[in-house]
Amino acid sequence: MTRVSVIVPVLNEEAVIRSALSRLCRDFPDCELIVVDGGSTDATAELAAPHATVVTSERGRARQMNEGARHASGDILWFVHADTAVDPGALGQIRAALADPAVVGGGLTLRFDRRTPALNHLARASNARARRLHHIFGDQAMFVRRTVFDALGGFPDLAIMEDLEMSRRLHRRGRLCLLPATSTASSRRLVAHGTWRMIAFMQYLKLLYFAGVDPEAIRARYAAGPRLFAKKSPAVARSSRP
């Protein structure tokens, strides 16, 4: 049977890491489980150690996921966020999809851990985008054929949008599948800032990326959160100049 490595990048996730890993161990007992800690200052690494192989890396999701892949032995690399719950039926669907040599990877059908009109809209739009534009983001539990991942050199070393860029590169290599199994993502950040506001904010950040703005400036803008009438940072201003 094709070996699957589940890679979980973490940073200060002590509130959820134990339950997340217990669930993954229960639902996918034949998968290799690797947690990549990006320098947590809480007890994340200690809580993860009884459940998974824990490795450390420089902070940054792309670097953490690449470090996890470096330690992984699986033929399939499956990247799962700590605050995401994965449908137990996903593993069989992943293996079935990758039995087709034309398929290089894909993701799961997104939903959120609560239901509101705004969150339902975001989930539908994200799934439609994945089907039509082949843009798969981290909260959709991206999976990748190992040989293709290595040929691409792993995730691009970007401060943000590494999942978007990776899915674009993967699509140029073969077919990406959106599977019916669900990935239930946490809505905590969306709800905290206002979901509709965050939807607009995330579209704005993607526009900055496609316009060629420095990903580090976009990451800083994301970290600051959505603000009405936000002043353009000097870094963004410099990166936006022709």
Confidence of residue 234 (pLDDT cuts 50, 70, 90): very low
pLDDT in tens, 107-135: 999 999 999 999 999 999 999 999 999 99
Using the predicted structure, report yes or no on whether residue 233 has a pLDDT greater than 60. no
Strands 103-112 and 143-145: antiparallel
Looking at the fold, whether 200 and 178 belong to one and the same domain comes out as no
Nearest to 158 by CA among 226, 224, 214, 220: 214
Q: Return the pLDDT at 1.
A: 78
Looking at the fold, whether 182 and 203 belong to one and the same domain comes out as no
The CATH number linked to 84 is 3.90.550.10
Rg, C-alpha atoms of the chain = 17
**Interatomic CA distance for residues 34 and 65, integer angstroms:** 10
Instruction: Read off the pTM.
Output: 0.91
Looking at the fold, whether 161 and 233 belong to one and the same domain comes out as no
Please provide the average confidence, as pLDDT, over all residues in the chain: 93
Looking at the fold, whether 154 and 100 belong to one and the same domain comes out as yes
Q: What's the whole-number mean pLDDT along residues 158-167?
A: 96
Of the candidates 186, 205, 223, which is a domain's last residue?
Answer: 186
Of the candidates 163, 186, 209, which is a domain's last residue?
Answer: 186
Domain count, the chain: 2
Check: CB of residue 27 under 8 Å from CB of residue 86: yes
Using the predicted structure, report yes or no on whether residue 160 has a pLDDT greater than 60. yes
Looking at the fold, whether 12 and 117 belong to one and the same domain comes out as yes
Of the candidates 186, 202, 231, which is a domain's last residue?
Answer: 186
Looking at the fold, whether 65 and 80 belong to one and the same domain comes out as yes
Residues 6+ apart with CB under 8 A from 139: 81, 84, 110, 183, 185
Range of the domain at 169: 4-186
Beta partners for residue 178, in sequence order: 107
Burial (0-12, 13-18, 19+ Cβ within 10 Å), 212: exposed
Confidence of residue 227 (pLDDT cuts 50, 70, 90): confident
**Interatomic CA distance for residues 192 and 89, integer angstroms:** 31
Looking at the fold, whether 173 and 61 belong to one and the same domain comes out as yes
Other CB atoms closer than 10 Å to residue 103's CB: what's the count? 19
Q: Return the pLDDT at 68.
A: 98
Looking at the fold, whether 113 and 199 belong to one and the same domain comes out as no
Looking at the fold, whether 233 and 162 belong to one and the same domain comes out as no
